[in-house]
Each structure stands twice: as C-alpha cells, then as structure tokens.
Amino acid sequence: MSRKVTKAIFPVAGLGTRFLPATKSIPKEIMTLVDRPLIQYAIDEARAAGIKEFIFVTSRGKGALEDYFDHAHELEASLREKGKKDLLDTLRATNMESGAIAYIRQHKALGLGHAVWCARRLLADEPFAVILTDDVILGEPPCLQQMIEAHEETGGSMVATMEVAADKASSYGVLDVAEDMGAIVRARGMVEKPAPGTAPSNLAVIGRYILAPTVMQNLNKLRAGSGGEIQLTDAIADEITEGRDVFGLRFRGQRFDCGSKIGFLQATVAFGLERDELKGEFSDYLSNLMSVRRAAE
Ligand code: G1P
C-alpha cells in the first residue's frame, strides 16, 4: 500500500490574460461559476479526496485569492443575527482550518513544472496531488477521489486522462500507452504539446495528478521543454525512463476547460443546470432561446 496523499499543490500563478479585462483586477481563480469561485471547486474536490494541506503557488496580483480564504467573521455574525442559516452554512463550508493553507510565491513564470517545484520544501518524502484549477470536472465521486482510489491499487504516479480529437492533442500533454487496462492505462511515455500529427495517442493529460516524491526530484533538473518552459509532463516522463510506474486514469465525469472562454461558458451552463434551485427556470430559458434563434435562422 502506498502512503496516504494528504497534500495538494494548486499552481495559481498564471496571469489569466485570456480573460482580460476581468483579470486586470481579479485573479482568474476567483472568477465565478454560478456562485462560487473556480478555486472553491478545486478545494472542495481536494477535500472530498482526503487532502488536508493546501499549497498555493501564487504570483503578484493574487491578493484577492489569499483574502478569499479568510474567515468572514462580521458577515457570519450578521447572518447569524438575521437567522439566515442557509447562507451561514454556505459561508462556513468555505472556512479552512488555520494552518491548512500555505502560499508560496513563484517569482518568474517559468512553467508548470517550475511552479510545482516551488513547493518542494513543503513536502516530505511523500506522494502529493496537483490540481489545475482551470480544469473543472463534474463527476461523482469527484475526479481526485477516483484517482486516489485507483492509486491505492496501482502506486506509482497517476494523471487524469481523457480522449481528445486528434487535432486538439497538440494543446495537451499526451500519453504514450504501453498497456490499456480499461479505466487505467500504463504509460510508456508522455509528451507535452506534441507537434500536430505526432501525438503518440489521443489520451490527453487533464489537470489532476498524484505524483511520487521522485517527480519532485526530477524537477530539480529545471530542464526547459516545450515552449521553453519547465514542464511537469517531462518530470513525470522521467519516472518512466527511470523504471517507475506512471498510469493514466480515464475518470468518470465531464471536464471543462475554464481557462478558455468557450469552456467557461459551457461550464456555467452545465453547473447551472445541476442546481436544483435553478435548473427548471434555466432550462426553460435555454430551450426558448434556442427555438427563437432557430426560427430566426
Ligand atoms: C497543462 C499541462 C498539460 C495538460 C493541461 C491540461 O497545460 O502542461 O500537460 O494537458 O494543462 O489542462 P496548459 O493548459 O497549462 O498549457
């Protein structure tokens, strides 16, 4: 049995330029899907998977993200006074235990691998999770929990994976598959953003990882890869070269790329339709909208 995974790294240093002008003053991780910031979805998924320590790798301009995790004492007191129990519960559910969150600064945007490496001193010789908050996943059980359960069986390192269209593979890390066991595949290699037409498979890496401590050691090389950046994918691929196991899990669930406008819009619709208090009115609105548009075509 491998050691329990209790720490997760959240690389949140990106500038979010695809969402300018919004990201001029708010970190993209605070952008709201229905009524919760993206980061809350990531935290909830990590908690459901048993994560106890949350390490944010941040950069300049991310103050609002740090503030988001402060307890809102005045607001809580006022809701309590007014007897607004539901709102109070919603608010309290976001409270984090003191000392459970650490913030580390990435001083230079040198890539995802570098961001993860910045957290090295907060980890002992233990497996750890990495969650990319842009990838929002609707799934039950939540994706990271599915991975923790699978990892308990396999050990080694594990990435979340899903099939993508051939012409999209060059936007992802892609698995070279040694053995396909159904939900789990064993990798013989991993390539970050392969040139069009050269992807070793159609299985893309999605932003959930459970990594062996040796991946952090591989990152010590600080070797530049695709796009001149230090890539996490390369440090995971090194595991395979050195004879250690790397698996991909075809998770059950729907992934949204909330780092893109279209992905964010799709996620807004999907998560809106999941909410009991919204779905009736919202789906009526969407069907009417579509029929009016179709009639006008
Ligand atoms: C990152 C990773 C890539 C992965 C992707 C998933 O790329 O480097 O391997 O497939 O996330 O979203 P990015 O989207 O940050 O360019």
Determine, yes or no, domain membership for 1.
no
Q: Span 153-177, mean pLDDT?
A: 96
Q: Cis omega before residue 196 (within 30°)?
A: no
Same domain, 81 and 174: yes
Determine the residue of 137, 157, 174, 205 to mutate for testing ligand 1's pocket, defined as the one with the most ligand atoms within 8 A of the Cβ atom: 205
- Closest-CA residue, ligand 1 atom 7, reads 172
Q: What is the pLDDT at residue 1?
A: 47
Same domain, 173 and 81: yes
pLDDT score of 93 more than 70: yes
Same domain, 66 and 161: yes
Q: Which long-range contacts (CB under 8 A, 24 or more apart) does 215-223 make?
A: 215/157, 215/239, 216/116, 216/117, 216/120, 216/123, 216/128, 219/113, 219/114, 219/116, 219/117, 219/120, 220/117, 220/120, 222/110, 222/113, 222/114, 222/117
Same domain, 266 and 230: no
Q: What is the pLDDT at residue 147?
A: 97
Q: 175-228, pLDDT tens digit by residue?
A: 999 999 999 999 999 999 999 999 999 999 999 999 999 999 999 998 899 999
Q: Span 152-164, mean pLDDT?
A: 96
Same domain, 108 and 224: yes
CATH number of the domain that residue 119 is part of: 3.90.550.10
Same domain, 251 and 291: no
Determine, yes or no, domain membership for 117.
yes
pTM: 0.94
Same domain, 222 and 277: no
Same domain, 60 and 129: yes
Q: How far is the CA of 277 from the centre of ligand 1 (A)?
A: 34
Same domain, 47 and 71: yes
Q: 271-288, pLDDT tens digit by residue?
A: 999 999 999 999 999 999
Which residues approach ligand 1 with their CB closer than 6 A?
112, 132, 135, 172-173, 192, 204-207, 232-233
Q: What is the pLDDT at residue 62?
A: 87
Q: How far is the CA of 206 from the centre of ligand 1 (A)?
A: 7
- Closest-CA residue, ligand 1 atom 9, reads 173
pLDDT score of 16 more than 90: no
Atom of ligand 1 nearest to the CA of 231: 8
Q: How far is the CA of 243 from the centre of ligand 1 (A)?
A: 24
Q: How far is the CA of 38 from the centre of ligand 1 (A)?
A: 17
Q: What is the pLDDT at residue 61?
A: 85
Determine, yes or no, domain membership for 123.
yes
Q: Span 264-268, mean pLDDT?
A: 97
Determine, yes or no, domain membership for 235.
yes
Determine, yes or no, domain membership for 205.
yes
Q: What is the pLDDT at residue 267?
A: 97
Q: Cis omega before residue 200 (within 30°)?
A: no
Residue 189: C-alpha distances to residues 7, 236, 246 (Å):
26, 9, 9
Return all residues near 78 (Cβ < 8 A) that are at least 6 apart.
none
Same domain, 81 and 188: yes
- Closest-CA residue, ligand 1 atom 6, reads 206
Determine, yes or no, domain membership for 269.
yes
Domains of the chain: total:
2
Q: Which domain holds residue 230?
A: 7-259
Residue 3: band (very low, low, confident or very high) from pLDDT cuts 50, 70, 90? confident
Determine, yes or no, domain membership for 2.
no
Same domain, 221 and 267: no
| Mean pLDDT (the chain, rounded) | 94
Same domain, 120 and 185: yes
pLDDT score of 2 more than 70: no
